[in-house]
Amino acid sequence: MKALVLEKIKQLSIRDFDIRETLGEYDVRIAIHTVGICGSDIHYYERGAIGQFVVREPMILGHEASGTIIELGKSVRNFRVGDRVCMEPGIPNPESRATRLGIYNLDPDVRFWATPPIHGCLRETVVHPAAFTFKLPDSVSFGEGAIVEPLAIGMHAAKKAEIRPGDVAVVTGAGTIGMVTTMAMLAGGCSKVIVSDVQDEKLAIVAKMGPVVPVNVLRENLKDAIARETDGWGADIALDASGNEKAIAGLVDLICPGGHIVLIGMPVGPVPMDIVAIQAKEARLDSIFRYAHVYPRALALMGSGKIDVKPLITDVFKFKDSIKAYEYAVHPKPTSVKVQIEMA
Amino acid sequence: MKALVLEKIKQLSIRDFDIRETLGEYDVRIAIHTVGICGSDIHYYERGAIGQFVVREPMILGHEASGTIIELGKSVRNFRVGDRVCMEPGIPNPESRATRLGIYNLDPDVRFWATPPIHGCLRETVVHPAAFTFKLPDSVSFGEGAIVEPLAIGMHAAKKAEIRPGDVAVVTGAGTIGMVTTMAMLAGGCSKVIVSDVQDEKLAIVAKMGPVVPVNVLRENLKDAIARETDGWGADIALDASGNEKAIAGLVDLICPGGHIVLIGMPVGPVPMDIVAIQAKEARLDSIFRYAHVYPRALALMGSGKIDVKPLITDVFKFKDSIKAYEYAVHPKPTSVKVQIEMA
Amino acid sequence: MKALVLEKIKQLSIRDFDIRETLGEYDVRIAIHTVGICGSDIHYYERGAIGQFVVREPMILGHEASGTIIELGKSVRNFRVGDRVCMEPGIPNPESRATRLGIYNLDPDVRFWATPPIHGCLRETVVHPAAFTFKLPDSVSFGEGAIVEPLAIGMHAAKKAEIRPGDVAVVTGAGTIGMVTTMAMLAGGCSKVIVSDVQDEKLAIVAKMGPVVPVNVLRENLKDAIARETDGWGADIALDASGNEKAIAGLVDLICPGGHIVLIGMPVGPVPMDIVAIQAKEARLDSIFRYAHVYPRALALMGSGKIDVKPLITDVFKFKDSIKAYEYAVHPKPTSVKVQIEMA
Amino acid sequence: MKALVLEKIKQLSIRDFDIRETLGEYDVRIAIHTVGICGSDIHYYERGAIGQFVVREPMILGHEASGTIIELGKSVRNFRVGDRVCMEPGIPNPESRATRLGIYNLDPDVRFWATPPIHGCLRETVVHPAAFTFKLPDSVSFGEGAIVEPLAIGMHAAKKAEIRPGDVAVVTGAGTIGMVTTMAMLAGGCSKVIVSDVQDEKLAIVAKMGPVVPVNVLRENLKDAIARETDGWGADIALDASGNEKAIAGLVDLICPGGHIVLIGMPVGPVPMDIVAIQAKEARLDSIFRYAHVYPRALALMGSGKIDVKPLITDVFKFKDSIKAYEYAVHPKPTSVKVQIEMA
């Protein structure tokens, strides 16, 4: 079938790729419609590796996908051919201890699309477990369906944040993950979210998502802004979506006594943390690794109109232009958020 | 000062009432602006008692109030004269074990407005602890400020519900408490709320509050409606705001495995509960008694626009017509929700 | 192979039973050593049915078992032939939504030993998933290993109870389940457990398990005893292990403000619950259905000496006397707790 | 009255000190019996300051105390003259937001004994709020009562750890705080605790406290020891009681997927934390600042025999020898744990 293949570093080709997948008893076969480009895709394209995961063979890219079911495994009951769906890109081993405990995202044997040596989904069809496939509400387009994957990260962070209704949150970083985290925190019960970044273009986008207070930290002190917005008490929850070491180390200064920190962004090295400052507030820190059990939650909020991801879809390319899409995604305009490729 | 006094059962008078209050170090004096009429006010008016609380002396009614600060105790730092505020009507004993644990609403010695022998706030001024007084956001009117008290019940229920973002909830009963609970559950992270009642007028009001599915149980089976809305899985959370015994006993049939029940409505007698059905789902039941720590949360959500209580203010009377207001509130139109009295 | 077969109501036979089990990739084959007799076994023996589960064909009894691994499926890595083990008797469907969420005990398709039409384990060998098989610590005998199953119920209740170190608990009912619950609550962090029953013989056994206050409710008021033991505050946690309707309805009177109730025992009909009393304490009620994820916890506590189940093993029969064992278990002495059958 | 006074750095005197305390309505007056010496006392003695807290005037030392009630405030109901008690040394402002929320230990205005400019309790009598005074069980001696203060730190950590029955914990550091943490974790539900240190004398003491696995990290790799004790899965909970930067940074390597870290020890500078490693396990980190609401829990566990602090009392001096006691406490034998001074 046709696929977008990363042949080696910085070399993509659109070509026929011989991949045959057997449909298991609990699987579905899906015709791919839309695939978003993620930072990790760009990373493999530009550098050929992320940590221990090295691209040694030609690999199909893409893991943010939606499509239409075209075939059902014989024990699949909750889908029909023609259903519009999106898919979780990571498939855990059902026999692992982590999976049995319900934390399947922590299973070390998880097979994740476009993480070598597993192929991605920028191709005509995929076979996928029905259990990790989710129906799109009628009001949700294929493009929005392909955004559920990055949104799931924000949703998982919002779930870990254990929001109490009316909490005030701060999100450091207004990139794609900062945006989906802001959306999830607002939909998840926060009264308002203070968002910091250094790019006004990103802050302008996130400011339209609801009761958001944008703070450009090049011009304004974030701690002061939070003090002003919380009568000096501090934010209930601080989430880092930047991966910036200084931002992470500074989270403790942003929260109230007994406040909560959630670590989403992945810094490149160890971060010097002020443990005594953390203790003085009895802060709780939670961290996330991908997500688990949140696709249905994201889709429910999108279907009922509480989350609207349409403003995130800024650039759409046809599959025949998918190499151009990747080239664009490497150096996008500051007003770009998500670049997507349509297969159909 | 002028006050609305319940002289005895079914006998109200607007008259001068000799009540002199000393301003303590941590107190504020407030000129009352708006006072809502609550079911308990009506109950005392019509029957003279609620359970063990019996009106034996003339008592000023009213506990849902907003106003303006006119005097500050000498150690009060976080207010100024002229601040627009609303007040929690229950003042706990700071020395009680429950208060120290942070569950001050469970302090048996709490002094609650218009709960005999404590006077209510349908009068010109009150002295109140600053700690239980809360500034209104600029965008929140006095009328809306006086609704924070009933909203607080919905907020407290929503906090107890431990909503995870995207949860589906069902609320049985679309009276005032059902409405504020629905608002709080939506603002607090639910993707949608299914609301049941027997009055179409109430369901029509609640249906406009967001992604709400109204169900008139005279015409439709609630369990079927929930199955349809949740692909047969059941609601994550079921809250009773009716106090109806049958509704309470039926909550377990509405939830999913591992689901959560929150008991708000107070039934008149014991309710036969199917313990084995509860166990088969490993249901968790939480219950609420008034509220604690939620006024700032309610105001934050109102201030940021995530909760809009204006549709609840259906009937406003001047203080000189406050007896008429009570007479109306006993037999309101089905489209009435909250009757308020303006002092100013 | 040889098995104890319930031919029909009140008719048992020890005989050859043709049961051939294929060893799957992730399974182990176990030679059974010890099998305890449970109330449900007795119920099927005496009445032929529990609720919807009706014995229509001859069925092998028994689900509380330990034994020795004699064969390994080809993908089993964490066991060796010769390992001494005990087994969870319920096997969930790995594809169910409940299983994926980690609440596999709530999977409606769970296959549970000796629950018709699934055969039990009172036979020479069984094939079982390695994931539901657990190694016995060296210090734990086969007899103790066969008690992990009922202990798991107490452990699951103790996990749901969310004990904070030093909590005071009350357990109503000192039968086998009351005993294992008391053990689990003490090992799980309670400072003491007040246990009520009407049988002095049972209370005498439970009183030896640690800091236990036995209360014979024929002679002493339980609420008074708890008031005395808690300076009038009430128990932090109340667990019913009796299934008695009056005991369940009375739990709310035993707890402190903000206290926790856990429902273990299964009453025969609906229980009239005083909802307003529950609300006045903002009580939380949890309920359990069997157990999940607790076998390793029970074994860890037994292995380290924090739980000692030996006093529960009061009556041991050889397999050739297993019919006699059942006859005894129907009318045991009051000092009997657990009757076990040794296969080897 | 007679008191032990820190005149200035390294200069102590036993002398009359003019301190007159009025007995408030909710206060009790206590004749001090036993006072332990804490690391912070030593720190003030040797250096005259801890962080921002500087000894500028002569200050009475001591905050770990027990004694006997000799006078009651007029509204005190739950005590009698003659009651044996111990006291929480920190008194929060009842009007603070943190106190009202139940997290009174985080109140910035807390007045803490022997933290300048507040005097300590190494003197004949103190006046103290009844709410922060706790009756000793009959079986608990004054010496043990004076150990409740350091034990409270371990108890608070154990409460934050949210132990599930049977959890395996690791505690880094076997000093006094490591010991009380180990005790609290064992009493609080752990099946066993692995404790690391570099001093064999300390490890020998802690090894006798129950199912403890001592690890001298000079001779054995801690991660390997934990792998061996947990079948390679990792500890459920890791608590640092050393304050050592390397130990804190290494906690993430000791826990299982989804594991919990609790930060007790206070390092002298920022600690480089591997955030990505934390995320890969979705670790949760909690931190503590002193304690709140745990004195009754500690006393309940001591009273019922689940915690025995007697082995911690290694050195007892009379008040007349209290300067000698401090000199000893600066350079104690490795087998010393807690040095106490008896006033009576």
- The per-residue pLDDT for range C67-95, each reduced to its tens digit, is 999 999 999 999 999 999 999 999 999 99
Minimal-distance CA residue of chain B relative to C257: B106
Chain B touched by A82 (CB under 8 Å): no
Query: How far, in Å, CA of B198 to CA of A242, rounded?
Result: 50
Minimal-distance CA residue of chain C relative to A94: C94
Provide the number of CB pairs (under 8 Å) joining chain A to chain C.
Answer: 22
Average pLDDT, whole number, for chain B? 97
Looking at chain D, the domain(s) classified CATH 3.40.50.720 span 160-287
Render C175-224 in DSSP notation, one character per residue. Answer: SHHHHHHHHHHHHTT-SEEEEEES-HHHHHHHGGGSSEEEEETTTS-HHH
Q: Which residues of B touch D100 (CB under 8 A)?
A: 102, 104, 131, 293
Give residue C119's pLDDT band: very low, low, confident or very high (50, 70, 90). Answer: very high
Minimal-distance CA residue of chain D relative to A98: D257
Does the beta-carbon distance from C95 to A293 stay under 8 Å? Answer: no
**Distance to chain B for A306, nearest Cα, Å:** 7
Nearest to D165 among C158, C167, C191 (CB): C158
Dihedral, CA atoms, C31, C35, C40, C46, nearest 10 degrees? 100
Question: What architecture is the C160-287 domain classified under in CATH?
Answer: 3-Layer(aba) Sandwich (3.40)
Chain C touched by A74 (CB under 8 Å): no
Chain B touched by D98 (CB under 8 Å): no
Provide the number of CB pairs (under 8 Å) joining chain B to chain C.
Answer: 104
Could you tell me the two tokens for D10?
Answer: 């390294």
Nearest to D300 among C78, C166, C297 (CB): C166
Give residue A52's pLDDT band: very low, low, confident or very high (50, 70, 90). Answer: confident
DSSP D337: -
**Distance to chain B for C249, nearest Cα, Å:** 9
Superfamily of domain D2-147+309-342: Medium-chain alcohol dehydrogenases, catalytic domain (3.90.180.10)
Averaged pLDDT, A188-216: 98
Does the beta-carbon distance from A95 to C293 stay under 8 Å? Answer: no
Provide the number of CB pairs (under 8 Å) joining chain C to chain D.
Answer: 91
Minimal-distance CA residue of chain D relative to C302: D191
Q: Which residues of D touch A98 (CB under 8 A)?
A: 257-258
Nearest to C279 among B258, B263, B279 (CB): B263
Give residue A171's pLDDT band: very low, low, confident or very high (50, 70, 90). Answer: very high
The neighbours of chain A, by the rule of 3 or more Cβ pairs under 8 Å, are B, C, D
Does the beta-carbon distance from B304 to A191 stay under 8 Å? Answer: yes
- Identify the residue among B83, B185, B304 best suited for mutation to test binding to A, counting A beta carbons within 10 A and taking the highest: B304
Nearest to A103 among D257, D263, D266 (CB): D257
> Is the confidence at residue A152, as pLDDT, over 90?
yes
**Residues of chain D under the 50 pLDDT cut:** none
Chain B touched by C277 (CB under 8 Å): no
C-alpha distances in Å from residue A121, one per residue of A298, C22, D140: 21, 37, 67
| A318-340 pLDDT tens trace | 999 999 999 999 999 999 999 99
Averaged pLDDT, B174-179: 98
Instruction: Please give the single-letter amino acid code of residue B202.
Output: K
Does the beta-carbon distance from A301 to B165 stay under 8 Å? Answer: yes
Does the beta-carbon distance from B166 to A294 stay under 8 Å? Answer: yes
Minimal-distance CA residue of chain D relative to A104: D257
Specify the pLDDT at position C52. 86
Total count of residues recorded for chain D: 344
Query: How far, in Å, CA of B45 to CA of C253, rounded?
Result: 31
Looking at chain A, the domain(s) classified CATH 3.90.180.10 span 2-147+309-342
Nearest to D26 among B26, B95, B102 (CB): B95
Specify the pLDDT at position D52. 86
Minimal-distance CA residue of chain D relative to C168: D300
Query: How far, in Å, CA of B85 to CA of B127, rounded?
Result: 13
Specify the pLDDT at position B149. 98
The neighbours of chain D, by the rule of 3 or more Cβ pairs under 8 Å, are A, B, C
Q: Which residues of D touch B95 (CB under 8 A)?
A: 26, 75, 131
Nearest to D289 among A270, A273, A280 (CB): A280
Nearest to A306 among B184, B211, B294 (CB): B211
Burial class from Cβ neighbours inside 10 Å (0-12, 13-18, 19+) for residue D114 reads buried
- Residues with Cβ within 8 Å of C90's Cβ and at least 6 positions away in sequence, in order, are C105, C110, C111, C112, C113, C132, C290
Dihedral, CA atoms, B177, B180, B184, B185, nearest 10 degrees? 60
Q: Which residues of A touch C100 (CB under 8 A)?
A: 102, 104, 131, 293
3-state class (DSSP) for residue A344: coil
Q: Which residues of A touch C293 (CB under 8 A)?
A: 100-101
**Distance to chain C for B114, nearest Cα, Å:** 18
Render B217-247 in DSSP notation, one character per residue. Answer: TTTS-HHHHHHHHTTTS-EEEEEE-S--HHH
Does the beta-carbon distance from D104 to B100 stay under 8 Å? Answer: yes
Specify the pLDDT at position B64. 98
Nearest to D297 among C166, C297, C301 (CB): C166
Nearest to B188 among A189, A231, A297 (CB): A189
Does the beta-carbon distance from B78 to A231 stay under 8 Å? Answer: yes
Helices (H), ranges, chain D: 39-47, 97-100, 142-145, 148-160, 176-187, 200-206, 222-229, 245-250, 275-280, 295-303, 322-330
Q: Residue C78: how many CB atoms within 10 A of its CB?
A: 14
Could you tell me the two tokens for D119?
Answer: 């005097």
Does the beta-carbon distance from D286 to A284 stay under 8 Å? Answer: yes
Does the beta-carbon distance from C287 to B279 stay under 8 Å? Answer: yes
Chain D touched by B111 (CB under 8 Å): no
Chain C touched by B274 (CB under 8 Å): yes
**Distance to chain D for C106, nearest Cα, Å:** 20
Interface of C with A in 179-208 (CB under 8 A): none
Provide the number of CB pairs (under 8 Å) joining chain A to chain B.
Answer: 92
Which one, of A140, C19, B103, C235, lies nearest residue D293 by Cα? Answer: B103
- Identify the residue among A95, A105, A128, A159 best suited for mutation to test binding to C, counting C beta carbons within 10 A and taking the highest: A95
Render A18-67 in DSSP notation, one character per residue. Answer: -------TTEEEEEEEEEE--HHHHHHHHHSEETTEE--S-EE---EEEE
**Distance to chain A for C214, nearest Cα, Å:** 36
Averaged pLDDT, A138-153: 98
Q: Whole-model pTM?
A: 0.97
Specify the pLDDT at position C46. 94
Q: Residue A9: how many CB atoms within 10 A of its CB?
A: 12
B313: which strand partners? Answer: B338
